[in-house]
Amino acid sequence: MENVSNDKYRTLTELTRGEYKAFLYDCDGTLADNMEDHKKTYVKVASQGGVQIDPEIVDELAGYPIPEVVEEINKRYNSDFNPQTFELSKSDLFYKEFIPQTKPIAYVVNHLKASVGKYKIGVVSGSPRRMIQKTLEVLGIDTMVDVMICAEDYEKGKPSPDPFLMAAEKLGVEPGACVVFEDGDPGVKAAEAAGMKWIRIDKI
């Protein structure tokens, strides 16, 4: 597995050669190997409300804000979860039980570490700030990030370009000089709409 990770790291390095000035990383599923944990929390909170959901819906909607995922769950399962209440329950469960054991996606985290001081570093997520801050601390990279854009910072999340454009503006970098690292379709659509190069780390 380590050789595979090293190969992927080299591929990432090759793909990001050029006149770029900033690297913008999604967090969950891109820097943090935590998508299975996210699935477990959705399933657990839904089951507490008497609804058994297929965890694959989380993969399908990767990158969307939690309330939007909950709205889709309500449509498909004829449930009536309050999106904000569900989000609070899910976030508390994830924060307390799962974030402390978060593992890195090594080749992406190593790429970020190797880029510090050479490029501006941003983390752009659809999750709340406290979740991302804690996750980056557990991964040991919180002090390496120049800017964090999280759910509280914008009205329209991915696939809207707003989060990435906000990160570029805060970093003082033109959108065309940014590379986005993502693991979901909404993030890719957001990067394209922002006029940024993107890399699907899960497709390498």
Would you list the domain boundaries of the chain? 2-34+102-203, 35-100
In the chain, what is the straight-line distance between the N-terminal and C-terminal CA atoms, in Å?
A: 14
58's tokens: 């989380």
* 62 against 148, higher pLDDT: 148
Instruction: Inform me whether the pLDDT recorded for 2 exceeds 80.
Output: no
Strand partners, 25: 123, 181
CA distances from 185 to 43, 51, 101 (A): 22, 27, 26
Instruction: Look at residue 1 in the predicted model and tell me its pLDDT.
Output: 64
**What is the CATH number assigned to the segment(s) 35-100?**
1.10.150
Please tell me the pTM assigned to this model.
0.90
Q: Is 52 exposed, middle or buried (0-12, 13-18, 19+ CB in 10 A)?
A: exposed
Q: Is 47 exposed, middle or buried (0-12, 13-18, 19+ CB in 10 A)?
A: exposed
Residue 196 binned pLDDT confidence (cut-offs 50, 70, 90):
very high
When pLDDT is averaged across residues 22-49 and rounded to a whole number, the result is: 96
Q: Which class would CATH give 2-34+102-203? A: alpha beta
Instruction: Inform me whether the pLDDT recorded for 83 exceeds 80.
Output: yes
